[in-house]
Structure 1
Amino acid sequence: MKGPIISFLSILSFLSIILAETHTWYYTADWVEKNPDGSLINPDGIFPRPMIGFNDTWPLPTLRVKKGDRIQLYLTNGMNDRNTSLHFHGMFQPGSNQMDGPEMITQCPIPPGETFLYNFTVDQQVGSYWYHSHTSGQYGDGMRGVFIIEDDDFPYEYDEEVILTLNEHYHEFSDELKPKFLSRFNPTGAEPIPDNFLFNETRNNTWKVEPNKTYLLRIINTGRFVSQYLWMEDHDFTIVEIDGIYVEKNTTDLLYITVAQRYAVLITTKNETDKNYAFMNRVDIDMLDLIPDNLELNGTNHIIYNESLDKAEPYLIESIDDYFDDFWLKPLSKEKLLDDADYTITIDVQMDNLGDGVNYAFFNNVTYTMPKVPTLLTALSAGEHATNELVYGTNTNSFVLEKDEVIDIVMNNLDTGKHPFHLHGHVFQVIERHEAIDDDEDPVAYNASDHAEWPEYPMIRDTVYLQPQSYLVLRFKANNPGIWLFHCHIEWHLDQGLAIQLIEDPISMQNNETQQITDNHKQICEKVGVSVEGNAAGNSVNYLDLSGENIQHKRLPTGFTARGIVALVFSCIAGVLGLIAISIYGMQDINNVEERVARDLDVDLDEQYNEDGEISSNDIIRENSSTGNSSTQKH
């Protein structure tokens, strides 16, 4: 029987190649000031500002493909003062690691005026994805779009597909926000507060529906910071997909979606058209350090059954604490818990200040610091040294994984904030997530000998949130050779350095022809002045010599330094001398004190003396009050 089965599978594979389509797109990324009708770009309707778009248009287009299709996207950097890049969020990129997008990790950044070809095949993935710049600040300034992989064998019935994006919006540009954020004048690391929250790149949106119809709503949080809650008036969400993974149906009336997460839900409309309904979105206020009085926390959008009727009023709920916990979603594939881990990476999440006074983010006391050569190019050029974590730098938090190992990532959160973590090149099983721990209690770390029972069919996705002062255990199989970034998808935290690099089976990458960098990639590196070989320090002669590598700032010294002690001593001496001077001066008699005070207050002594020959203090105060100052003046 093996022969016929193999032949049949070969025929199916051959047919899929024949039927696959090649999508070729040419896009230039640049600032867009106006809509096609000539009006100014104004996402929240309050403050017009340019956004980064493609081909003089914003928002970016929704890209649609099918599994097996080939992508050829030519991205030209039309911005004249900055580099750029592009990441297809959630794509595995098997054999095409250089197309993953993070600059100085898998590719050289694209300099102004240059074009990079993103050329890869969509393997067996389907579902809801998105694409965005992986250059700091740019997707928050608008360089973000939806990427859908259609499935002819979608497992659930529906009538029509609809896309919904969520994000926050700033009136200031990232170039203005980032220096203020990463500043010694922001020692607590308080993230910039958004000016608004968008619903399909606008506010107060309307969704025209038809009665008795089932919609597949693809919800994608393309934001850079906050999680959002979603609920509808008298309608439910039936979850059928998360992050490109089909799940068993689960119905809820309240969703919680972190940045970078995706949900596909079924919504069945009512038979009647006698009323319109509210569709609400609300920011997770626990993630905001302060809440300005004018910040609108609840967004009211509208499900329109009948355009002749009034729109719905805001539909507020008593509590948002009972949102759906994605941990209990089961994959439709019934993929069981992977075998015990071959290698466990334990990382502690912490935020702290370094010697420059700036608040940084750390994994195991290391804040990610960009290497001088993209990590992928180091892995391809390092030969036998590619399995040595040292060549990738001491400040990149790099871990080398062997082929087909089962990997556990254990995360202990020492921070009081929530963090959505994303893994490039893989999905992972979420096998344990501890509840949040209050700020006034000590953090709870994972204990391998005392933990909750793990599910038989764990939830699978590529972005998951870590609770405050709590822990999380993720599991995946290292079956996709490449350099894969694992990072917090709050972009402010990535800017602070909250990332690690997974160097997966680097020797097989060296031996795989499709992993070798393209001529176009080499040209981009040359144009931007980055070497295509060498270790993290740019040394291609001795890969174990990291002299001159980029490193994090020195830590704040513990205790007093010599300069601090000297400053403290002199401050104390100055304080003591000041007290002595005040004491001596205060005990001295001052001649003609009345005349001096009267002169300072411009008082006529001849008129102000009383019958005893003494000046009246009440008269002095009254005289001074007429000039608007009821206290004696100090000279």
Structure 2
Amino acid sequence: MHLSYWHSHLLIFITLASTFFNVTLAKTRQFNFTASWITAKPDGIHEKKMIGFNGKWPPPDIHVNKGDRIELYLTNGFQDNHTVTSLHFHGMFQNSTFDDNQNLMDGPSMVTQCPIVPGQTYLYNFTTGDQIGTYWYHAHHSAQYGDGMRAALIIHDDDIQQPFQYDKEFVIGISDLYWKPYDQVTDKFLSRYNPTGAEPIPDLFLFNNTVNETLHFETNKTYLLRFINMGLFVSQYISLEDHQFTIVEVDGMYVKPNITDVLYLAAAQRMSVLVKSKETDPGKNFALMQIVDQTMLDAIPPNLPLNMTNQVAYGDDYSKPHSIIPQDFEKLATNDFYLEPYYDNHYQVFKDYDQQIVLDVRMRNLGDGIKYAFFNNISFVDPKIPILTTILTSGKLADDPRIYGENVNPFFFKKNQIIEVVLNNYDTGRHPFHLHGHNFQIVQKSNGFHIDEQFPEELQDEMTVPYNESNPLMPIPEIPMIRDTVVLEPNGHVVLRFKADNPGVWYFHCHVDWHLQQGLAAVFIEDPFALQRQNSLTDNYKDICSAANIANEGNAAGNYEDWFDLDGLPRQPDPLPEGFTLKGYIAFAISTLCGIWGLYTITKYGMFEDIPDNESLYTTLKTIIEENEISVK
């Protein structure tokens, strides 16, 4: 026989043996968490009510191994009888290949489950499968995780598979914080008294749930630093004085080593780096900087810290370092578009797509005076029952968009289709978009085209550079970067591709949580009939919904006798009356001018003056009115 025959069979044997070995070693990790309000001091001085587990804050980081099963019992222990919750394991695929009912474990309230009301317990029961690396878990109801209901989820790889070595690791969560409770901040934000939609300015920025943190280094060691942006809103830069970062993992994906001085992490993004400590005692400690992305803030209060100095300490007796801000740090930060997966032969770009979705991002006011966020002029509004319930109880109608309502932005994919998602940003803000249930390839990612000034909404189209498929700004990479959260730059675009190989209903949304509260979301409904075969509503699922007075069958409006009857379905408010648009303001200005001129004319006439020649003014006003298509009464 040929050597290649034995070689191929040896590889098969090794693969099967490795799979058996991993399955044998896989363990079930059980957690019992009761969520409640805890009085804490995030900055070490001021008290604030935070959401903790089992009477403690912060919640614990979870460390498991590849292939382990997680059984997490979450009990709603809030005592106010109205605070509901849910939990999402960010970046986990929840793939039913490994177990049935995985889609029920994804967590976003009113998408894949009902909210958990006080006194109820929901079991999140899933296997980690083949995933490894840096993830996190957080509340997925309203802006709740901003009050501290979040922590790291680390899935460790075995030494044989891991392409790098280190002596010790640190898990580092960075975040923003508001002193007022999340519901009060949300209510003030989504208000007609905030017509510009200005995002709430954080009061503090945390490093591992505190300020002025210290990481202790020993000489001649290699450290793995796992950074996670757990904030609601603001992106942050990270730098370490007189040390370099070697990026080795992004959003749970090993990447080819990339050396940089500055990291950039938007909300929900993760990045793991190796840092080589000094070979000999340097005789000092070094500044580990958090630098706020100020371009995301509409206003900067004078007492808001924008540059936070933590430290890497080689000795307890050395003085704390001064703040060190790298010059041109924005330009030094690595652009994730140019990173490559470590095992590049496994991650060739999808050359063609089967279905393309173009999503235009806009922010506009509606008739209630509140500013909302839109995909293709649709702002996401929660249905009356979870979308997953509708899919699993609708039988042959599961792929009919009419039963889901227009305000959940549903898109339907068939098995194993290659999907291309085009995002065009008709807004001057940055938006980190996250896809549940998948990683995606980044095949185009433009720069930002405007970030300094706010222009009227009617001019956004002129400022934006949308994706031009026939003339892309950059070549499509052969080995694209793969991750689960990507930043859409101001007035720019990004193009993503993924394979629809994971039946489920998957949330796609901006992870600036304020924008999600404004409605910047859609749902991808993937192979719904396979989803019906692999998933069913468990007793625990139905009990949670019943406790919340939510039906366990029906369309988006909760109707099941007539599946196309959407009477009572929550929808976005009516459009803003024309009088409050830019065109309306022009009309108001012209009307005012006409009125003033009329008063002037009457006054002059009443004083027996000659009536002035109004022909010139009339001609000018007539031209303005006709050009702007304004009706002046």
TM bucket (normalised to shorter chain) is 0.7 to 0.9
Corresponding residue of 2:365: 353
CA distance in 2, matches of 1:560, 1:434: 33
Residue 474, structure 1, aligned to residue 496, structure 2: yes
CA contact (8 A) 1:276 1:312 kept: yes
- Aligned residue type for 1:307: D
Q: Which amino acid aligns with 2:373?
A: A
Query: For 1:416-495, what aligned pairs fall within 5 Å after superposition?
Result: 416-438=428-450, 442-451=463-472, 452-495=474-517
For residue 281 of structure 1, give the secondary structure of its aligned residue in structure 2. strand
Percent of aligned pairs with the same amino acid: 51
Question: 1:532-547 alignment to 2 at 5 Å?
Answer: 532-547=552-567
Letter of the 1:328 counterpart = Y
1:190 aligned to 2:198? yes
Are residues 1:328 and 2:338 paired?
Answer: yes
CA distance in 2, matches of 1:557, 1:345: 30
Give the C-alpha shift of residue 511 in structure 1.
1.4
Unaligned runs of 5+ in 2: 97-101, 456-461, 608-633
How far has the Cα of 1:16 moved from its partner?
2.7
Q: Within 2, Cα distance between the matches of 1:353 and 1:116?
A: 37
Q: Which amino acid aligns with 1:433?
A: K
2:303 match: 294
**Is 1:518 aligned to residue 542 of structure 2?**
no
Which secondary structure state, in structure 2, belongs to the residue aligned with residue 50 of structure 1?
strand
Partner of 2:93: 92
SS in 1 for 2:320: coil
Report if aligned partners of 2:49, 2:181 keep a CA contact under 8 Å in 1.
no
Distance change (3 Å), C-alpha of 1:560 and 1:151 = closer
Counterpart CA distance in 1 for 2:588 and 2:253 is 60
1:203 corresponds in structure 2 to 211
Q: Secondary structure at the match of 2:578?
A: coil
The match for 1:621 is none
Structure 2 CA distance for aligned equivalents of residues 426 and 459 of structure 1: 14
Residue of structure 2 equivalent to 1:616: none
Aligned mate of 1:406, from 375, 398, 418: 418
Contact 2:91 2:436 (8 Å CA) reproduced? yes
1:313 aligns with 2:322: yes
Structure 2 equivalent of residue 285 of structure 1: 294
- Equivalent residue letter for 1:351: M
Name stretches of at least 5 consecutive residues in structure 1 with no aligned partner.
Answer: 34-40, 588-635
Q: Distance in 2 between matches of 1:343 and 1:83?
A: 37
Separation in 1 of the partners of 2:119 and 2:289? 42
How far apart, in 1, do the equivalents of 2:325 and 2:62 lie? 34
Aligned to 1:49: 48
Listed one character per residue, the Cα deviations across residues 585-620 of structure 1 (whole Å, up to 9, x for unaligned) are: x99xxxxxxxxxxxxxxxxxxxxxxxxxxxxxxxxx
Tell me: CA distance 1:341–1:150, structure 2 relative to 1, closer, same or farther (3 Å). same
1:504 to 526, 536, 539: 526
Give the C-alpha shift of residue 442 in structure 1.
1.5
**Residues 255 and 3 (structure 1 numbering): CA distance in 2 closer, same or farther, change over 3 Å?**
closer
Deviation at 1:542, TM superposition (A): 2.2
User: Which amino acid is 2:467 matched to?
Assistant: Y
| 1:130 equivalenced with 2:136 (yes/no) | yes
Query: Can you list the C-alpha shifts for 1:501-524, whole angstroms capped at 9, x where unaligned?
Result: 000000011112xx1121111111
Deviation at 1:204, TM superposition (A): 1.0
C-alpha distance in 2 between matches for 1:455 and 1:5: 30
Farther off after superposition, 255-264 or 11-20? 11-20
Q: Give the distance between the partners of 1:524 and 1:454, measured in 2 at CA.
A: 46
What is the CA distance between 1:67 and its match in structure 2? 1.5
> 1:221 maps to what in 2?
229
Q: TM-score, normalised by structure 1?
A: 0.86
Q: Which moved more, 1:324-333 or 1:241-250?
A: 324-333
AA aligned to 1:331 is P
| Matched residue SS, 2:563 | coil
The match for 1:173 among 172, 181, 191 is: 181
The secondary structure found in structure 2 opposite 1:156 is: coil
1:608 aligned residue: none
SS at 2:407's partner residue?
A: coil
User: What's the Cα RMSD here?
Assistant: 2.5
Equivalent position amino acid for 2:202 in 1? P
Q: Is 1:156 aligned to residue 164 of structure 2? A: yes
Q: Post-superposition shift, 1:90?
A: 0.2
Match of 1:116, SS?
strand
The one-letter code sitting in structure 1 at the alignment partner of 2:469 is A
Give 1:473 shift. Answer: 0.2
1:138 Cα deviation after fit: 1.3
> Which residue does 2:407 correspond to in 1?
395
Residue 627 (structure 2) aligns with: none
1:261 to 265, 269, 277: 269
Deviation (angstroms), 1:333:
1.5
For residues 189-239 of structure 1, the C-alpha deviation after alignment (integer angstroms, 9 at most, x for no partner) is 001101111111111111111011000110000001000001111001000
Matched, 1:113 2:119: yes
Tell me by how many angstroms 1:466 deviates.
Answer: 0.4
Structure 2 counterpart of 1:443, which letter? T
Distance across 1 between alignment mates of 2:92 and 2:214: 31
TM-score (norm 2): 0.87
State the Cα distance separating 1:540 from its structure 2 match. 1.1
Secondary structure of the corresponding residue to residue 216 of structure 1: strand
Equivalent residue number for residue 66 of structure 2: 67
Question: What's 2:459 paired with?
Answer: none
- Name the structure 1 match of 2:76: 77
Following the alignment from structure 1 to structure 2, what is the Cα–Cα distance between the partners of residues 15 and 508?
Answer: 30
SS of equivalent to 1:511: helix
Distance 1:472 1:118 in 2: 33
Amino acid at match of 1:91: M
CA contact (8 A) 1:339 1:406 kept: no
Alignment correspondent of 1:614: none
Correspondence 1:519-598 to 2 at 5 A: 519-558=539-578
1:250-281 CA-partner distances (Å, limit 9, x unpaired) = 00001111010000100000023211111111
Q: Any idea what SS the aligned residue of 1:403 has?
A: coil
Secondary structure of 1:336 counterpart: coil
C-alpha separation between the residues in 1 aligned to 2:405 and 2:185? 29
Alpha-carbon distance, 1:243 to partner = 0.2
Alignment deviations for residues 8-28 of structure 1 (CA, whole Å, 9 cap, x no partner): 655543433222100111110
Q: In 2, Cα distance between the equivalents of 1:210 and 1:283?
A: 29
* Cα pair 1:94 1:480 within 8 Å, conserved: yes
Could you say what secondary structure the match of 1:139 adopts?
helix
2:253 counterpart residue number:
245
Distance in structure 1 (CA, Å) of the matches to 2:439 and 2:341: 12
How far, CA to CA, are the matches of 1:466 and 1:125 in structure 2? 25
CA displacement 1:512-563 (0-9 Å, x = unmatched): 2xx11211111111111111111111111222222221110000133599xx
Shift of 1:45: 3.2
Among candidates 149, 157, 161, match of residue 143 of structure 1: 149
